[in-house]
Amino acid sequence: MVRVPINILVVDDEEDFVEMFSLRLEEMGEIVKGVNSGQECLDVLESTDVDVVILDIKMPGMDGIETLREIKRRRPITEVILLTGHGTTDTAVEGMKLGAFDYLNKPADFKDLMEKLEGARKRKAEQEERIRKAESRSLMRRSGNLF
């Protein structure tokens, strides 16, 4: 069976990290785009369909938590995995309260990351499925009213 690739957006101010990380994920068969700031991330989300955003918490300008808040406000269905180089889990936990799917310490264990990516994609798919069903139910009711 052919595995459906995950649409991933990597957001980190470390350009080298974004580049290497993206190459690796692409090699695993995912569809990856990388940007270096929170604002660029939001811009990309305007025009591109993304399943999972992998988001660094500590960035100059708009930091990860702010970006996360904005992502969840604009596109609540997009899943976010936080990356922290700081080891302190409290910001990460704050992020999860804001709706992030999970977090990882940098440098992340790749197996861990792949598992979390899969989990995030699954959660998004289920969410979409529920929305689709709800929409079709309401459509049926409306069309029922017509006749």
53 backbone dihedrals φ, ψ, rounded to 5° = -100, 125
Q: Is 96 in the site for other proteins (CB under 8 A)?
A: no
CB-facing half-sphere around the CA of 87: CA atoms within 13 A: 0
Euclidean distance between CA atoms 125 and 80, whole angstroms: 14
Q: Is 130 in the site for other proteins (CB under 8 A)?
A: no
Euclidean distance between CA atoms 55 and 98, whole angstroms: 13
Interface map 37-76 toward other proteins (x if CB under 8 A): ---------------------x------------------
We find the least distance from the C-beta atom of residue 146 to other proteins, in angstroms, to be 55
Euclidean distance between CA atoms 106 and 103, whole angstroms: 10
Site stretch for other proteins (CB under 8 A), options 1-9, 22-30, 39-47, 134-142: 22-30
Query: What residue ranges bind other proteins (CB under 8 A)?
Result: 14, 16-17, 20-21, 23-24, 27-28, 58, 83, 85-90, 105-108, 110
